[in-house]
Structure 1
Amino acid sequence: MFIRSERLFLRPGWPEDWAELHALIDDEQVVRNLTRAPWPYSPDDARAFAARPQVGRHPHFFITLPGPHGSRLVGSVGLTQDGDECLVGYWIAQAHWGRGYATEAVHSVLSLARTLGHDRIVAHRFADNPASGRVLEKVGFRPTGEIRIGRSAARREAVPTMIHAIDLAPPADSDGPEDGGFAPMRTLRAA
């Protein structure tokens, strides 16, 4: 599965991506905000992450930035199942922070989530990571008011975690007046 957004190309990871992945995520400032990534992040960790299989309704993607000499990796985004919740997770390499890539990638995955049949997506962010909260707010997530004690493999300690959620609208039905008011489609059907 692939997603093209305005500036980014989201694609599955391939085993040969491990070295580029390792170069980007081998950064304590990135890894400390992730739940499962250990610190230090080893080449074997990168190999395992790059080779992870896709899981049906919970795909994950490498975020790449296309350019004249190919695409370069800038981060990762994906959906996972945690009990009854569908979670979105993401990270962006520090060299690419502040450019809106996380917002654009999460927005793209939310559009796919609707198509995959998800009606609610949850995100967990560590309380000391307000930048992640801004990303979530920009794409429509709202804080639930719930604070949980989360785990970070890199920090090796419990961390207060803010819970955010978004309820997804079902895809628009283009077979009738619910087509979003796109009159040209009704005109074509009537002809």
Structure 2
Amino acid sequence: MQEEKKRFPRFELPVRRAITRYGVPNSELVESHYMLQSLEDGCSESDAERLEAICNEELIYERLFRNRLHGQPYTRAHAEAFLLWAREGWAKWEWFVFVVRDPQGQIVAALDIKSADPGAAEIGYWASVTSRGVMTNAVVALCQVAQDAGYACLYAHIAPDNGPSLGVVRRAGFQPDGEVQIQDQRYLKWTRKLM
């Protein structure tokens, strides 16, 4: 048995799960297939370009990058560093990054499981404003992937004013689980038991 198979979690690589946008009528499903995929291997130049564009979208930039980047734009170098970091997590088998691709193969969202802790692992996620409705089903698919890999529970820390993210976890079956302080910021903890 390979060393990879002995370690937790037990992901079957590559991970590929078809998803649809939340609330899409059945008559439109064929044109609406998106793909959740593990980001353990190489990406294209267009992937870095797309990440740069998405991470500069107002909502994502304000929520995730303005303070971190001291008001400077999210650059191609940041996107390339993110892609390297994603592959490093899979190589070390310590954190696990996934992307969602639209029907044309373009990245529209990213999600991660932040640890290999089988008892409970934190998730994070963001999606382009051009792909509204994709994140709920992406998080549901991520929960299924995590359950198949042996995780017992996933949780998310969400800022109280982040209404769209709160809607995602509610629709994806997470339950409120108190509050936490992280670096002087208050977050709501939402948990979903998988086993």
Tell me the equivalent position of 1:163.
189
Distance (Å, rounded) in 2 between the aligned partners of 1:49 and 1:166: 27
Percent of aligned positions that are identical: 23
Give the alignment's TM-score, normalised by structure 1: 0.72
Which position in structure 2 is the counterpart of 1:175? none
Query: Which has the larger strand fraction?
Result: 1
Displacement of 1:127: 1.1
Does residue 59 of structure 1 match 2:59? Answer: no
TM-aligned CA deviation for residue 73 of structure 1: 1.7
Alpha carbons of structure 1 residues 87 and 115: separation in structure 2 relative to 1, 3 Å: same
The answer on whether the counterparts of 2:65 and 2:74 sit within 8 Å (CA) in structure 1 is: no
What are the Cα deviations for residues 13-60 of structure 1, in whole angstroms up to 9, with x where unaligned? 415211111011112421333389933322211111123214237422
Shift of 1:3: 2.0
- Structure 1 residue 72 corresponds to structure 2 residue 112: no
Separation in 2, partners of 1:86, 1:35? 23
Q: Following the alignment from structure 1 to structure 2, what is the Cα–Cα distance between the partners of residues 137 and 112?
A: 19
Aligned length: 157
Cα shift at 1:104: 0.9
Shift of 1:103: 0.2
Which structure: greater helix fraction? 2
**Partner residue in 1 for 2:19:** 5
Cα root mean square deviation, aligned: 2.5
Runs of at least 5 residues in structure 2 that lack an aligned partner in the other structure:
1-13, 21-32
- The one-letter code matched in structure 2 to 1:150 is I
Per the alignment, do residues 108 and 41 of structure 1 end up closer, same or farther by CA in structure 2, a change over 3 Å counting?
same
- Cα distance in 2 for residues equivalent to 1:141 and 1:35: 26
Distance 1:135 1:109 in 2: 13
Distance 1:46 1:32, change over 3 A: same
- Return the TM-score normalized by structure 2: 0.71
| 2:141 match: secondary structure | helix
- The 8 Å contact of residues 3 and 10 in structure 1, kept in 2 or not, is answered as yes
Q: CA deviation at 1:81?
A: 1.7
Q: Show structure 1 runs of 5+ residues with no match.
A: 152-157, 170-191
What is the CA–CA distance in structure 2 between the aligned matches of 1:35 and 1:143, rounded to whole Å?
26
Please, which of 54, 60, 68 is the counterpart of residue 24 of structure 1?
Answer: 54
Task: Measure the CA separation in 2 of the matches of 1:37 and 1:109.
Answer: 28
Query: Residues 120 and 151 of structure 2 are in contact (CA less than 8 Å); yes or no, is this contact kept in structure 1?
Result: no
What is the CA–CA distance in structure 1 between the aligned matches of 2:160 and 2:130, rounded to whole Å?
Answer: 22
Q: Distance in 1 between matches of 2:35 and 2:57?
A: 23
> 1:128-186 CA distances to partner (integer Å, 9 max, x unpaired)?
102111100111101112x22235xxxxxx432111101113xxxxxxxxxxxxxxxxx
Match of 1:134 in 2: 167
Larger Cα-atom Rg: 1
Aligned equivalents of 1:35, 1:125: Cα separation in 2: 15
